[in-house]
């Protein structure tokens, strides 16, 4: 524990949300889900310039949020973040709540995001278990190359027993172990020779046994349902109003896939049907 905090004191990246408001931290957590840091930073900065508080975003339309989200991917996150801003404005006077139950009651906020906001925005004790943290603990403590596919109750108990209990140290530890997993104890090429905890790492001591289950391959994006959805959304983001059915057909000619993408976008509330069979982003 001490070694990782010392390492973090020297190697902490100057990520902008680390010196931001609780709202800035919450926005970063939504954006960082399945999206690399370098892609998030410019969008996050633009977003916070435009909507520096939850109330600012709540006053905007869902369509504005989707346009600002741009090509970060998984655009349902933008809608959920907008919904969270509305809830924060209505229930908490425009202030991001600082207790776990209230945070988890917000749209799009689960156990991990609630813990991350408590730790990184408010400096509270919270067990923050993202993919990087789980991998570090699996290797250093359990001697496994990778964690299980899903968090188990036993894993949560083991992690809770390791976490410092004092608020400030707990928050610092959470940030340190997450950073360590992101830049040193990485999934594919861990830097074991320069690892500050290599002498106590159970995985290294066991000879770095490989993962027992093969990693799930990401489905091919090209020609996929996801790409069809993205192409249609990109068209609507760039349109000043609605886009006709023929315009949508031009960006995705495959009829069956286009109709499936439109249907799922409508179901997710990411687009709406406008007049004369055209489509638009929601108000």
Is residue 112's pLDDT more than 70? yes
Q: Looking at the structure, do residues 95 and 58 belong to the same domain, yes or no?
A: yes
Q: How crowded is residue 244: how many other Cβ atoms within 10 Å of its Cβ?
A: 14
pLDDT tens digits along 207-255: 999 987 655 666 788 889 999 999 999 999 998 889 999 999 999 999 9
Q: Looking at the structure, do residues 66 and 115 belong to the same domain, yes or no?
A: yes
Q: Looking at the structure, do residues 67 and 23 belong to the same domain, yes or no?
A: yes
Q: Looking at the structure, do residues 118 and 136 belong to the same domain, yes or no?
A: no
Quote the crossing angle between the two packed helices 111-122 and 22-31, to the nearest 10°.
Answer: 140
Residue range of the domain that includes 110: 2-122
Instruction: Choose one of 122, 157, 173: the last residue of a domain.
Output: 122
The C-alpha atoms of residue 46 and residue 54 are separated, in whole angstroms, by 15
Residue 67 lies in a domain: yes
Q: Looking at the structure, do residues 98 and 13 belong to the same domain, yes or no?
A: yes
Q: Looking at the structure, do residues 36 and 107 belong to the same domain, yes or no?
A: yes
Three-state SS at 273: strand
Is residue 269's pLDDT more than 70? yes
pTM above 0.85, yes or no: yes
The arithmetic mean of pLDDT across residues 143-160, rounded, is: 93
Is residue 1's pLDDT more than 80? no
Surface-to-core class of residue 192, CB atoms within 10 Å of its CB (0-12 exposed, 13-18 middle, 19+ buried): middle
CATH of residue 54: 1.10.340.30
Q: Looking at the structure, do residues 6 and 115 belong to the same domain, yes or no?
A: yes
Contact between 20 and 49 under an 8 Å Cβ cutoff? The reply is: no
Residue 143 lies in a domain: yes
CATH of residue 270: 1.10.10.10
Residue 218 lies in a domain: no
Q: 12, 29, 83, 142: which one is catalytic? A: 29
Q: What is the DSSP letter of 240?
A: S
Residue 251 lies in a domain: yes
Quote the crossing angle between the two packed helices 62-69 and 225-238, to the nearest 10°.
Answer: 110
Q: Looking at the structure, do residues 9 and 117 belong to the same domain, yes or no?
A: yes
Contact between 238 and 175 under an 8 Å Cβ cutoff? The reply is: no
Residue 212 is predicted with a pLDDT of 79
Instruction: Choose one of 72, 100, 122: the last residue of a domain.
Output: 122
Residue 213 is predicted with a pLDDT of 66
- The total domain count for the chain is 3
Q: Looking at the structure, do residues 31 and 69 belong to the same domain, yes or no?
A: yes
Active site (annotated) includes residue 3: no
Instruction: Choose one of 122, 147, 170: the last residue of a domain.
Output: 122
Is residue 57's pLDDT more than 70? yes
Q: Looking at the structure, do residues 115 and 136 belong to the same domain, yes or no?
A: no
Report the percentage of the chain scoring pLDDT > 70. Answer: 98
pLDDT tens digits along 180-220: 999 999 999 999 999 999 999 999 999 999 987 655 666 78
């Amino acid at each position: 524990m001490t070694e990782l905090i010392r390492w973090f004191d020297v190697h902490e990246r100057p990520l902008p949300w680390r010196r931001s408001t609780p709202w800035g931290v919450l926005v970063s957590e939504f954006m960082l889900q399945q999206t690399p840091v370098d892609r998030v930073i410019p969008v996050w900065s633009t977003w916070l310039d435009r909507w520096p508080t939850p109330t600012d975003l709540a006053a905007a339309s869902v369509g504005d949020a989707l346009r600002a989200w741009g090509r970060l991917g998984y655009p349902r996150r933008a809608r959920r973040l907008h919904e969270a801003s509305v809830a924060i404005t209505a229930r908490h006077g425009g202030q991001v709540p600082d207790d776990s139950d209230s945070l988890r009651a917000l749209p799009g906020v689960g156990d991990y995001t609630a813990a991350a906001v408590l730790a990184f925005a408010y400096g509270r004790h919270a067990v923050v278990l993202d993919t990087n943290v789980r991998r570090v603990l699996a290797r250093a403590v359990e001697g496994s190359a990778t964690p299980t596919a899903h968090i188990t109750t036993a894993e949560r108990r083991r992690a809770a027993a390791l976490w410092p209990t004092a608020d400030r140290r707990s928050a610092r530890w959470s940030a340190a172990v997450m950073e360590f997993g992101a830049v040193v104890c990485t999934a594919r090429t861990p830097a074991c020779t320069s690892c500050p905890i290599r002498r106590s790492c159970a995985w290294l001591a066991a000879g770095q046994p490989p993962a027992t289950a093969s990693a799930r391959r990401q489905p091919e994006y090209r020609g996929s349902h996801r790409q069809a959805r993205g192409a249609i959304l990109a068209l609507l983001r760039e349109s000043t109003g609605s886009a006709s059915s023929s315009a949508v057909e031009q960006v995705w000619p495959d009829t069956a896939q286009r109709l499936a993408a439109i249907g799922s976008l409508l179901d997710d509330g990411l687009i709406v049907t406008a007049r004369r069979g055209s489509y638009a982003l929601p108000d």
